[in-house]
Amino acid sequence: MSSEVVYDELADAVLSFDADKVFETTKKALRLGLSPGDIIEKGLAKGLRIVGERFENGEIWIIQLVAAAEAAQRALNELLEPEIFRRKMVRTSLGKVVIGTVAGDIHDIGKNIVRAMLTAAGFEVHDLGKDVPVEDFLAKVKETNADILAASALLTSTAPVQKDIVETVEKEGLRSRVKIIVGGAAVSEEWAKEIGADGYAPNAVLAVKLTKELLGVKEGK
């Protein structure tokens, strides 16, 4: 079987929104000796890009988008990353992202969708979960040498924490090293500008686009 066929099968599995199918197809691809990097890039991420386009065109719903992203994410976390580790390979990612829902806020659905989409798109994502203190964001950025800090806030009362994050990153002298993006129901483009963040996206597909733009990654990668 040519490897191209397997990549197409992987992409199709993602497009079927079936996590078990994605998992099994990824297993099969590894058995056939394909590299984890190619499985991600030529298979899963390709499927995800098509899913993203279909979502943007209104052909599928957010539920399918999330199902596809989480299916790809599960294959990544449970099969591909352990394999990369086992082979002592270095995972080439599009960039490193530290993501979390800010302190005082436990609303994490939107953040989880963005996490899944970024992971599936080929970013190395470090998810700090919800109710994350500013210091934890900072520590993780330092530890991983992250390119992007993504902070989510749903409540009007917690959006100001995003401002604290920008200020703290500046104080620590990391502002030139890490781009800060914000999202969530309480947030707008206007707010992002006001607090001096680098960008805002209203949904997960656009969040992936924004992250790629900020890191100078070409579309279709």
Partner 1 sequence: MRCRLEVLSRYEINDIHAASLEVLEYTGATFRSEEALKIFEHYGAIVDYHKFNVKIPGYMVEELVRKAPKKYWIYGRDPKRNVEWGGKTQFLDLPGDYPYVIDLETGKRRFGLLKDCENFIRLGDALENAPQPYPVVRYPHDVPEALQHVELSMVHYKNTPAPMLIFSEDKNKAKDCIELATVVAGGEEQLKKKPNAWNAGMCPSPPLLFDAKLTEGVIECVRFGLPIWFLPMDNVGATAPITLAGAMVQTNATNLAGICLVQMVNPGTGVSYGGIPTVMDLRTGIPSVGCPEQTLLCVAIAQMAKFYGLPSQSWSGVSDSKIVDAQAGYESALCMLPPILAGANRVICGALEYHYSACYETIVIADEIFGMAKRIAEGMEVTEETMAVPLIKKIAPMAATKTGAHYMAEKHTLTYVDKERYVPKISDKTTREIWEKAGSKDLWQVARERVKEILAKHVPEPPPLDILKEVEAKAEEIKKRILKNTG
Contacts to partner 1 by CB under 8 A: 17, 19, 61-64, 66-67, 69-71, 108-109, 111-113, 127-130, 188-189, 200, 202-203
Residue 99: Cβ-neighbour burial (10 angstroms; 0-12, 13-18, 19+): buried
Of 6 and 116, CB closest to partner 1: 116
In angstroms, give the least distance from the CB of 73 to partner 1. 9
C-beta of residue 88 within 8 angstroms of C-beta of residue 130: no
In angstroms, give the least distance from the CB of 171 to partner 1. 27
In angstroms, give the least distance from the CB of 159 to partner 1. 15
Scan for tokens 């992002």, then name that residue.
Answer: 192
C-beta of residue 96 within 8 angstroms of C-beta of residue 69: no
In what side-by-side order are the strands of the sheet with 124-127?
A: 124-127, 96-101, 148-152, 179-183, 199-200
| DSSP β-ladder status, 124-127 and 179-183 | unpaired
Of 6 and 184, CB closest to partner 1: 184
Of 84 and 128, CB closest to partner 1: 128
Three-class DSSP labels, 170-192: HHCCCCCCCEEEEECCCCCHHHH
In angstroms, give the least distance from the CB of 108 to partner 1. 4
Of 67 and 84, CB closest to partner 1: 67
In angstroms, give the least distance from the CB of 70 to partner 1. 4
Of 42 and 209, CB closest to partner 1: 209
| Kind plus residue range of the DSSP H or E element containing 148 | strand 148-152
Cα–Cα nearest to 151, from 174, 128, 124: 128
In angstroms, give the least distance from the CB of 181 to partner 1. 14
Scan for tokens 């991420």, then name that residue.
Answer: 45
Of 11 and 113, CB closest to partner 1: 113
